[in-house]
Amino acid sequence: MNLNIMVGGEAGQGVQSVGFLLAKAFARGGYHVFADQDYESRVRGGHNFYRVRISDSKVGAITETVDILLALNNESISLHAEKMTDSGVIVFNGGEGQEIQNTGNLLNAPLEALSIEQAGSKLMANTVAFGVAMGLIHYEQKIIKEVLQEHFGTDEIGEKNVVAAISGYDYAIRKFNGEFGSILNSIGDGNKMLLNGNEAIALGAIAAGCTFMAAYPMTPASSIMEYLAGKSEELGLVVIQPEDEISAINMAIGAAFAGTRAMTATSGGGFCLMVEGLGLAGMTETPLVVVDAQRPGPAIGLATRTEQSDLQFAIHASHGEFPRVVLAPANVEEAFWLSVKAFNLADKYQLPVILLTDQHLASSYSTVDKFDLSQVSIDRGLLYEEDQATSMEVYNQHKITHSGISPRAWPLPDHALVVTDSHEHDEEGHLTEDANTRTRMMLKRLRKSESLQEEIASPHVYGPDKAEITLIGWGSTYGALRETVDILGGRGVDINLIHFSEIWPFPIQTVPELLNNTKQSYVVENNATGQLAQLIRSETGIKITSSILKFDGRPFTPSYIIEKLKEEGI
Amino acid sequence: MNLNIMVGGEAGQGVQSVGFLLAKAFARGGYHVFADQDYESRVRGGHNFYRVRISDSKVGAITETVDILLALNNESISLHAEKMTDSGVIVFNGGEGQEIQNTGNLLNAPLEALSIEQAGSKLMANTVAFGVAMGLIHYEQKIIKEVLQEHFGTDEIGEKNVVAAISGYDYAIRKFNGEFGSILNSIGDGNKMLLNGNEAIALGAIAAGCTFMAAYPMTPASSIMEYLAGKSEELGLVVIQPEDEISAINMAIGAAFAGTRAMTATSGGGFCLMVEGLGLAGMTETPLVVVDAQRPGPAIGLATRTEQSDLQFAIHASHGEFPRVVLAPANVEEAFWLSVKAFNLADKYQLPVILLTDQHLASSYSTVDKFDLSQVSIDRGLLYEEDQATSMEVYNQHKITHSGISPRAWPLPDHALVVTDSHEHDEEGHLTEDANTRTRMMLKRLRKSESLQEEIASPHVYGPDKAEITLIGWGSTYGALRETVDILGGRGVDINLIHFSEIWPFPIQTVPELLNNTKQSYVVENNATGQLAQLIRSETGIKITSSILKFDGRPFTPSYIIEKLKEEGI
Amino acid sequence: MIQLADYTGATPAWCPGCGNFGILTALNNALVALEIEPNKVLMVSGIGQAAKLPHYTRGNILNSLHGRALPPAIGAKIANPELTVIAVGGDGDGYGEGANHFINAIRRNHDITYLVHNNQVYGLTKGQASPTSDFGFITKTTPHGADIPLNPIALAVAANGTFVARSFAGDIDHLSQLIIKGIQHRGFALLDILQPCVSFNHKNTYSWYRERVYDLDLNGHNPENKADAFAKSQEWEESIPIGLIYREDRATYEERLPALKRGALVQREFDPMHAEKLLNRFL
Amino acid sequence: MIQLADYTGATPAWCPGCGNFGILTALNNALVALEIEPNKVLMVSGIGQAAKLPHYTRGNILNSLHGRALPPAIGAKIANPELTVIAVGGDGDGYGEGANHFINAIRRNHDITYLVHNNQVYGLTKGQASPTSDFGFITKTTPHGADIPLNPIALAVAANGTFVARSFAGDIDHLSQLIIKGIQHRGFALLDILQPCVSFNHKNTYSWYRERVYDLDLNGHNPENKADAFAKSQEWEESIPIGLIYREDRATYEERLPALKRGALVQREFDPMHAEKLLNRFL
Ligand SMILES: Cc1ncc(C[n+]2csc(CCOP(=O)(O)OP(=O)(O)O)c2C)c(N)n1
Ligand SMILES: Cc1ncc(C[n+]2csc(CCOP(=O)(O)OP(=O)(O)O)c2C)c(N)n1
Ligand code: SF4
Ligand code: SF4
Ligand SMILES: [Mg+2]
Ligand SMILES: [Mg+2]
């Protein structure tokens, strides 16, 4: 079972809120939901849409067809009518003088009129539309009310929204005279979480004990800091919005040096400004978590859209050489768990960890089973055990060890002095010009990659172990790729997927064997140059000659991938 | 014939000036000279040295042995005595109470005393030392005077220096009673230029018609801006030192957009701050030349030393994807010619060009034949021909063409309007959210790499076309690698060199064949991870398994490389 | 004759009622009044709602990075001083990300006019605090209220500005006159423009500003006196002075450059042989 | 008892006669006088000659990037307000590369003491102009003379500083007393320290400064008056006021943070289960 609802309209018409309400209502009813947002870099006007996909089994991608289109303006009809399924219904705000008749699969709903009539203002036209959609499928009114009250509160505004929605609901039941197949009831206890990638990362950070974030707003990363800032008082954590990204990363480094778990988050342009700081974390061996929520570049690019084009940059960012970790969560669930892992690896190996997400993951909503917090472990790494608590001696913050990891301490009254430096330094952290110390320190730091390597999970393999066709992807495309395998597999194509979520250090122990097992493989990447393919080649020598690349700022859908494979004769 | 003179002492003792005077005197005498500097990140004290290598045939590297050591302080003796050749002479500032006797190959020269006696101050002790070295080899006094007067002027200060030097000269002739084989006379008309890599780049920029530079001081890049600033009035060019590197690169972009040839220069840390601007040049297709004079990283690293560790960063710097050029001059001569080429490629392809040098190239002096300026051509690329000069219409700054190159214009009164944007834009340069335009613009920009590819020279091959042993290098290590091939080749080893100066776009047409021709090959890089080897693998799939890496901030010498090869049984 | 029609660009993507419309109108009026042709104008903008302005009028345009309106504007002005260079951006853009460029452009006195649409909030990224958000202003990133704001007028006076002015997007005539003066000013002209953001700033609204602004011209203020200017910069909450707050006469950066004495860089001839005399000095 | 010996670090790599020695002595004296133990101090520095200072005394040290003394100092102070956090750097470091952090740290009033060794030149990189180089100062990068300088005192006053002071490296007692006051001040304390650079600044020498500096304390200056403070910030060339120029009492950034009410971040317990109540809100 699969139902796709789209809400379209101008920025400012409340598209986002209807979309979220729909997703929430179905999640509450026990369904699996996946919802993405397509919006322009403006606050009013233009054209935005929200797609909500509802299913009784797991979904991790959107589809291009639409069963119900809530067209908050008429432009939405002209833009999306072609995507309608045969039995699909277009709900539009007709009113007086509206040309399109309420016939067939068009439902002329007086959204604004009902809003004014029921709630005294046309501001709730979008909530009316939500109600119409719910009415079309006869969904439980109890859930509708619950969800509206959670969203708008139980006071007057909440009540008005309920009334507006119910008026839409009733209107649909009364007036819709076309064919619409789906009548949906809730199917479970609704015990799934509905959240987006940014929220999952923020929750991961909270679970991991991050108490300090410094960040400068940048789409699509901003909502991580906004979520954390909203919880700062409740949880006692600090979120600071400084003058720029340079300040943000360096503040986080200071806070981490002082002993907290600290992070920053940005998108590519802001990440550019952070790369010198990244090197500072590398040189001073300061644990740090940096989120780069990618969007199409170069430069400002397409500010509100999606792309996977910072992979090579993230791996090579900053001058000089130092170990780092790059994790690219495949979905909302991994966003949470890799956020936790990022903090643990940062502490354990005393280095910067980059969480590489993108707009598609950051702002798409997905249902997941509630994260089991008892599975979250905190590993702060090797800590310095003080023999003389009040020594005031300088301890060796950068002690040269076999593993490259030095027992860690941070400045505390009555503890040893902690010293570090952006210059090459000796074990105590004081600057040095000595050639031999330099070489040993470089080797010490780089040595950390060896044990780090073992922390990196092997890519996911989905579908048969061996197949005629192998798709290779990374990060947020996982859902679309999995579904592609499901669909084509279901049609008898021998196909599987190798998907990377933990990319750097490159999982060299397993990847060569995995790839040598493949026959015809395609990298599928949301970029123009096939960066994962380049990386695979430089790390393994294996050349993936075929690729499906998309770099128009829009996410992949299974049908797009299938279409491209069809062009290749598959 | 080969003579190696080293000057050692504290910062502030005038090591640099003696070193330069020596290099200049021999260059004037028709010799080939190569001179490098080893100094600490401080203004007074510590230990610095300058090595001058003199030969009657081309030299491109230093050697580790020393024939004459001018020890301006006693620490220089303890640090460098072991490098002396059998017949080598250590000149030291003995004076009263000095333990070391003037016997054997030690020459106790009262440098300070002579300076006070002859010039009325001990400030010229270093010039006395210069004179002593010249006296030891009976070099022409005419050249000595010439060089001193050019350096210090012909007024009183110049005269005093001449007197000081001659007193040292005479002292050496009178007092040296050890064995010192070399008696040198000038051997030619001295028609060679003596300059360092930074000066060569600055001259290349001037020859190429660059009139605008914005840069923030950073070792080892600063002297490029200092040279250009010194010539700003004479040549009518502008050098501005703004508040930071972000401003520097963006100013240069503005000046280039306005139609001039513009550049900036920095080292790794400053380059980090420039990468967002690099992407702006990529997106707006603004021609731009950026010098990254590498030094050891990460972070501040070793501020005055050398490394080749920004290669992968330079190729991947900035988020998103856009074409760029990375050139890494092999020596002073190439520094000039690739600087010219950088400006031509930047204009022709309307993109950023990175000149990747390092401290070793930037501040080592080398003799070269005078650059033949008649060979310098200026190619400003495809320019927009206006039909209506006063139209005030917006012309298509980003016209989509087959080559990806759009005819260029810049804002001029009575010309068409020029519009560009850091957002994805249409042909006119106005921002767009359209998926199709986005895809076409990305492809347009990336298409430029195709013809660009043909501009990139194949790596240098030195020695036999095919050999048992192949060394592979890039950038400033060329001299040391060539000499290694010469020496080992002379000893009967079948060895050659493949050396990259033009690295990106990767010279894919020729490299695979070159490399497939090799048997046992070694990448030799001044870094810890073998970045060229990684790049070769990602571009060609060929894995170079052996490497000689050095990352202690000091440059390669032929003997170091030979030593390492010996450890490998060669 | 230059007419308003010459300055008609794309349809603004701003919210209906946004203060940016007034600024756009005032700028177009000023350019028409000054009889400057669009192709003699270069507009350089950063990123934000304000920074989209150039696309909505006409001229040469370089829409640059967030916080970076000034550096490219400076580079272009030096390269070609014949262009009337106008830099445009928001408060986050110019006083946040780009504040270092701001202070230094002022002290170097580049001959540029800088319009800052100061809506005291980050508009384009949907309502976070800006450096000029009033003390205690609550946003998603400042749930316990914004800090003491940055005072652009006081900073510009302290940074040795030569033309420091404030206007209000709700008073198009006033703003237009001030833009004219700013463009005519030899040197860096800062126009801090109070700009209501109807979507995200519900404190500093049209009426909030209207109740407070008063015209310095009608008030006998002497813009040549720095102490008075500094004093005026300290007024806010109760009453807000608009108009020319400080002015002084000082050589511009471009005037001080010996290199520009021989004409615009962009018009120089290319002749590699010019380097010959330099090469000889290395022999 | 804390003694000077507790504050003996590595041998300075500065030039003999450099003004930095006086600053180092004054700082050590101040820390001893305040009876602060080295392990309660965190020194964060940028890059430059000045920024090497922490290595030459003792304490916890984070020697950061050029221009970035303040951001990590702020991060560390928020993480652990029990540390006495002292940021150190040069004029290029703090007023050039890092000027945006400077202004914003001031307005947010972080509880940090900031020592700026203002030698009006870039020392470590060998003598280029700095933002505070005097007008007309000739260096390799400013062959036709530096621009109008940036005025750190005026900017700090304009940026709503709560402790704005100037001292002179040649007057160790004065400086030491002022550092004591700065450390005791609740909030951001700026100490702009006139520091002779004997290698690269042959204009602003010990004697040049000595002939001009005068102590505000002996002059009846009222540091609580902003207009007076601004007026004092305008004195230079002829006479240079040293001492506390401006002071006000305002909540620090850290005091305003609700999160810090429950103790230092660095002392929080780790308990993933704390997130449980948040997860439930997504159900
Ligand atoms: C380096 C960088 N950081 C952050 C952003 C995201 N960003 C775009 S506009 C903006 C703020 C806009 O505020 P303001 O300058 O006040 O302009 P307004 O929209 O209010 O007119 C931000 C933070 C960016 N594009 N680049
Ligand atoms: C990002 C970056 N840019 C430039 C430099 C080079 N640099 C090091 S110190 C310095 C200037 C030092 O001047 P100042 O801060 O005044 O300190 P001083 O040496 O005079 O005490 C510069 C430009 C750097 N290390 N990093
Ligand atoms: S968000 Fe504010 S500033 Fe932006 S267009 Fe809307 S009203 Fe104007
Ligand atoms: S160069 Fe100047 S600031 Fe640096 S140590 Fe020497 S005298 Fe001091
Ligand atoms: Mg704003
Ligand atoms: Mg300085």
Q: What is the pLDDT of residue A535?
A: 98
The reply to whether residue A217 touches residue C66, judged by beta carbons under 8 angstroms, is: no
B327 with B428, same domain?
A: no
The residue range of the domain holding A557 is 460-567
Same domain, A330 and A354: yes
Q: Which domain holds residue C112?
A: 4-280
Distance B434 CA to ligand 3 centre (A): 22
Cα D254 to middle of ligand 5, angstroms: 26
What does the pLDDT average to over B73-84? 92
Mean per-residue pLDDT, B482-487: 98
Question: pLDDT value at position B95?
Answer: 64
Specify if B183 maps to a domain: no
How close, in Å, is residue C177 to chain D by CA atoms? 27
pTM tops 0.95, yes or no: yes
Q: Same structural domain for residues B343 and B471?
A: no
Residues 6+ apart with CB under 8 A from B294: A319, B267, B268, B306, B307, B308, B309, B310, B356, B357, B358, B359
- Say whether D158 and C151 touch across the interface (CB within 8 A): yes
Residue numbers in chain C where pLDDT is lower than 70: none
Q: Are C118 and A208 in contact (CB under 8 A)?
A: no
Residues A109 and A234 both lie in one domain: no
Do residue B465 and residue B444 come from a single domain? no
Could you read off the pLDDT of C132-172 as tens digits, one per residue? 999 999 999 999 999 999 999 999 999 999 999 999 999 99
Q: Are C190 and C114 spatial neighbours (Cβ–Cβ below 8 Å)?
A: yes
**Structure confidence by residue, pLDDT tens digits, A169-184:** 999 998 887 666 678 8
Task: For residue A281, give how far its alpha carbon lies from the nearest alpha carbon of chain B (Å).
Answer: 8
pLDDT at B190 over 90: no
Residue in B closest to A283 by C-alpha = B298
Chain C residue whose CA is closest to A44: C15
CA-based end-to-end distance of chain C: 58
Which tens digit of pLDDT belongs to each residue from D53-111? 999 999 999 999 999 999 999 999 999 999 999 999 999 999 999 999 999 999 999 99
What lies within 8 Å, CB to CB, of C210 at 6+ separation is C168, C170
Q: Exposure string (b/e) for C29-39, b if CB count within 10 Å is 16 or more?
A: bbbbeeebbbb
Residue B113, number of CB atoms within 10 A of its CB: 18
**By C-alpha distance, which of D116, D144, D142 is closest to D127?**
D142
Do A212 and A310 lie in one domain? The reply is yes
- Cβ burial, residue A74 (10 Å; 0-12/13-18/19+): middle
Per-chain mean pLDDT for chain D: 97
Q: Is the CB of B209 under 6 A from ligand 2?
A: no
CATH of residue D189's domain is 3.40.50.970
- Statement: residue B262 has pLDDT above 90: yes
Contact B553, A435 (CB under 8 A): yes
What six digits make up the tokens of A93? 């705000």
* Distance between Cα C137 and ligand 5 center (Å): 14
pLDDT (0 to 100) of residue A97 = 46
**CB-proximal residues (5 Å) to ion ligand 6:** D 90-92, 119, 123
Banded pLDDT at B101 (limits 50, 70, 90): low
Q: What is the pLDDT of residue B397?
A: 94
Token pair belonging to B333:
């001569």
Counted domains in chain B: 4
Q: How many C-beta atoms surround the C-beta of residue C283 within 10 A?
A: 14
A446 and A465 belong to one structural domain: no
From A402, A437, A453, give the residue that closes a domain.
A453
Beta-carbon contacts of residue A174 (< 8 Å; ≥ 6 apart): none
Give the distance (Å) from ligand 5 centre to CA of residue C127: 9
Ligand 4: residues within 6 Å at CB? B 43-44; D 14-15, 18, 20, 49, 119, 123, 197-200
Q: What tokens does B286 get? A: 């603004």
Atom of ligand 2 nearest to the CA of D90: 15
> Going by DSSP bridges, is the β-strand pair C41-45/C60-63 parallel, antiparallel, or unpaired?
parallel
What's the distance, CA D52 to chain centroid? 14
**B220 and B256 belong to one structural domain:** yes
Q: Is the pLDDT of residue B387 over 80?
A: no
Q: Which residues, 6+ apart, have CB-to-CB distance to C128 below 8 Å?
A: A217, A222, A226, A241, C121, C122, C139, C140, C141, C142
CATH of the domain at B540: 3.40.50.920
In a domain, A7, yes or no: yes
The closest of A450, A538, A318, A440 to B551, measured between CA atoms, is A440
Query: Is residue B143 predicted with pLDDT exceeding 90?
Result: yes
In this structure, are B151 and B249 located in the same domain?
no
**The CATH number of the domain where A123 resides is what?**
3.40.920.10
Q: What is the CA radius of gyration of chain A?
A: 26
Check whether B472 has a pLDDT greater than 70: yes
Check pocket membership of C119 for ligand 3, CB cut-off 6 A.
Answer: yes
Q: What is the pLDDT of residue B97?
A: 46
Nearest CA to ligand 2 atom 24: D66
The total domain count for chain D is: 1
- Same domain membership, residue B428 and residue B352: no
> What's the confidence (pLDDT) of residue B385?
80
Query: For residue A272, what are the CA distances in angstroms to A48, B273, B309, B323?
Result: 29, 7, 18, 17
- State which of B123, B149, B176 marks the end of a domain: B176
**Residue with structure tokens 């890496």?**
B549
Q: Whole-angstrom distance between the N-terminal and C-terminal Cα of chain B?
A: 26
CB atoms within 10 A of CB B404: 22
For CA atoms C183, C184, C186, C190, give the dihedral sign.
negative
Tell me the residues of chain B between 221 and 280 that have a Cβ less than 8 Å away from chain A.
Answer: 246, 267-269, 271-273, 275-276, 279-280
C258: which chain D residues are within 8 Å (Cβ-Cβ)?
Answer: 144
| Axis-axis angle for helices B222-230, B197-207 (nearest 10) | 50
Structure tokens at D93: 């470091």
Q: Sheet containing A84-93: which strands, arranged edge to edge?
A: A106-109, A84-93, A66-71, A2-11, A45-55, A32-38, A365-369, A192-196
CA-CA-CA-CA dihedral for C102, C107, C110, C112, to nearest 10 = 50
Same domain, B259 and B390: no
pLDDT tens digits for chain A (570 residues)? 899 999 999 999 999 999 999 999 999 999 999 999 999 999 999 999 999 999 999 999 999 999 999 999 989 999 999 999 988 899 988 765 455 555 558 888 899 999 999 989 999 999 999 999 999 999 999 999 999 999 999 999 999 999 999 999 999 998 887 666 678 888 988 789 999 999 999 999 999 999 999 999 999 999 999 999 999 999 999 999 999 999 999 999 999 999 999 999 999 999 999 999 999 999 999 999 999 999 999 999 999 999 999 999 999 999 999 999 999 999 999 999 999 999 999 999 999 999 999 999 999 999 999 999 999 999 999 999 866 545 667 899 999 999 999 999 999 988 899 999 999 999 999 999 999 999 999 999 999 999 999 999 999 999 999 999 999 999 999 999 999 999 999 999 999 999 999 999 999 999 999 999 899 999 999 999 999 999 999 999 999 989 999 999 999 999 999 999 999 998
Q: Are residues B17 and B67 in the same domain?
A: yes
Q: Which amino acid, A223?
A: S
Indicate if the alpha-carbon torsion angle A457, A459, A463, A466 is positive or negative: negative
- B225 closest CB neighbour out of D67, D141, D144: D141
Q: Kindly list the distances between the CA atom of residue D171 and the CA atoms of A223, A367, B32, C38, D15, in Å, as whole numbers in the listed order.
A: 51, 67, 53, 58, 19
Contact C39/B392, CB-based, under 8 Å? yes
Average pLDDT over residues D154-171: 98
Q: How far apart are the first and last CA of chain A?
A: 26
Residue of B nearest to D92 (CA): B243
Q: Whose CA is nearest to atom 24 of ligand 1?
A: C66
Residue B136 lies in a domain: yes
Supply the DSSP string of A198-229, one letter for each residue.
Answer: HHHHHHHHHHTTEEEEE----TTTHHHHHHHH
